[in-house]
Amino acid sequence: MLMINKKYFIIFFSSILVFVIGNLFLDVKVEFLTTSLVEYKQFSLNCGSVYQILIEDLEYTDINLRMHDPICYNNAVLKVLNSVIGAVIVLLILKFGLKYINKKSNHEDLTDLLKILRNRNSK
From residue 54, give the alpha-carbon distance in Å to each of 38, 43, 58, 81.
39, 23, 8, 13
Domain count, the chain: 1
* Least-confidence region, from 38-47, 74-83, 97-106: 97-106
Residue with more model confidence, 54 or 80: 80
pLDDT score, position 122: 81
pLDDT score, position 96: 92
According to DSSP, the residues that pair with 35 across neighbouring strands are 40
Which phi and psi angles does 73 have, rounded to 5°? -65, -45
Residue 103 has pLDDT above 90, yes or no: no
| Mean pLDDT score, 78-87 | 95
Residue 37 has pLDDT above 80, yes or no: yes
% the chain with pLDDT above 70: 85
Residue-range definition of the domain harbouring residue 27: 2-122
